[in-house]
Amino acid sequence: MRTVCAIVAKITLPLLLVWFSYAQIPHSMTEANNVNWGGTNYIVGTVFWPNGKRVDTRIPVKLRSDLRGDYTSSTDDSGQFIFGGVPEGRYWVVLDTEKEFESIAQPVEVILSNVFPKPVYTLMIRLADRHEKVQKPAVIHSGDAEASKKADLLFKEALELSKVSDHQGAVEKLKLSLAENPKFLSALNELGVQYMKLNELEEADEAFKAALKINADSYEPLVNRGITLFRLKKFTDAESILQAAITIKSESAVAHYYLGRTRISLEKYEAAETELNAAIKFGGDDMKEGHRMLANLFIKKGDDNRAIEELEVYLRLVPGAPDADDLRNVIVQLKTPHQPSSNVKPQ
């Protein structure tokens, strides 16, 4: 068995469940923006104006690290940016210099990979005018309806702290909010999200469980708890929770994607394939990564032809991916007849 696998990108999801995809990198940026922090990963993205059009001027973008501080770069004239040389760890992509727009601190968690070199973590960021009011949710959870003004104010303060990457401060504000209203469901869910960003996964799971005691059918804490359990490698529990989230929101690309990954870990390959295909169906252009994950799945199953098909689909969708040459080399290897090897490490 050859030691060839597809890249698996780690997704960290805030309350609003922002999804990461893979984007083409402009040729004008390939020689710049190596942070030189000793890693081989890329963080790339595209910035959009509030009206949905791509940013058409250069805007400063920072990559923030708890350990290494800030690395400042900018978008190009089509709104795209890239940070190369990123090692494993927690980071935030920060846009906070444009006075007319809300500050943004988008979390990205880069994980250690023993698969292809140069994994790519990609996101899409839409700016918001400062004067715009936050749209009220269409559904108010019963726990939220009981929230006092003080609890709600503390909750909003926590969200502001999270925007500037002060996740520990956000946790403290949320605890104060919950002291006012212990059944404030959104605060409990957000507490779990903040613990996820701090990589305190056991604490995150406890927060999501508390939220689900208030409303067992609440989608956000369900899917977030499923992702947390996946990250804790509690795959059997993650499977049942993610399936429950899909029962509530059948077209959730995120839930299908993580259920697919979970079932790969449980070696339920046929069921995993079904979920990953559903993620691609419902996620559309934001779910290009699903093709890489399917390639990974087919390699595990020994189905090289289908793995090649998925990698070729991905390369058609993202021809300028930073690791495109690596992927093409993998395709060549998959097309090469298997040769016995005495030094292949077990998977």
Structure tokens at 173: 């504000």
- Cα(226)–Cα(139) distance, integer angstroms: 22
- Cα(204)–Cα(318) distance, integer angstroms: 34
Mean pLDDT throughout 122-138? 62
Q: Is 52 left (phi over 0), alpha (psi -120 to 50) or beta?
A: left
Residue 302 within a domain: no
**Segment 150-209, tens digit of pLDDT:** 888 999 999 898 888 888 999 999 999 999 989 899 999 999 999 988 889 999 999 999
Residue 91 within a domain: no
What is the CA 262 to chain-centroid distance, rounded? Answer: 15
More confident residue, 302 or 202: 202
- Cα(95)–Cα(92) distance, integer angstroms: 10
For residue 190, give the CATH number of its domain: 1.25.40.10
Mean pLDDT throughout 125-136? 62
Residues 6+ apart with CB under 8 A from 138: none
Q: Which amino acid is at 75?
A: T
- Cα(258)–Cα(92) distance, integer angstroms: 22
Q: What is the pTM of this model?
A: 0.61
**Segment 60-79, tens digit of pLDDT:** 899 888 677 788 888 888 88
- Cα(122)–Cα(90) distance, integer angstroms: 14
Residue 185 within a domain: yes
Residue 234 within a domain: no
Residue 272 within a domain: no
Enclosing domain of residue 207: 142-217
Residue 176 within a domain: yes
DSSP 216-252: TT-HHHHHHHHHHHHHTT-HHHHHHHHHHHHHH-TT-
List the Cα angle 328/329/333 in 5-degree steps.
120
Contact status, residue 48 vs residue 62, Cβ threshold 8 Å: no
Structure tokens at 79: 């709104």
More confident residue, 225 or 143: 225
Split into its structural domains, the chain has a count of 1
Residues 6+ apart with CB under 8 A from 299: 4, 5, 6, 307, 334
Res. 118 pLDDT band, cuts 50 70 90: low
**Segment 12-29, tens digit of pLDDT:** 232 223 333 333 333 344
Residue 206 within a domain: yes
Helices 304-317 & 324-335 angle (0-180, nearest 10): 160
| Residue closest to 271 by CA, chosen among 249, 296, 239, 302 | 239
Residue 336 within a domain: no
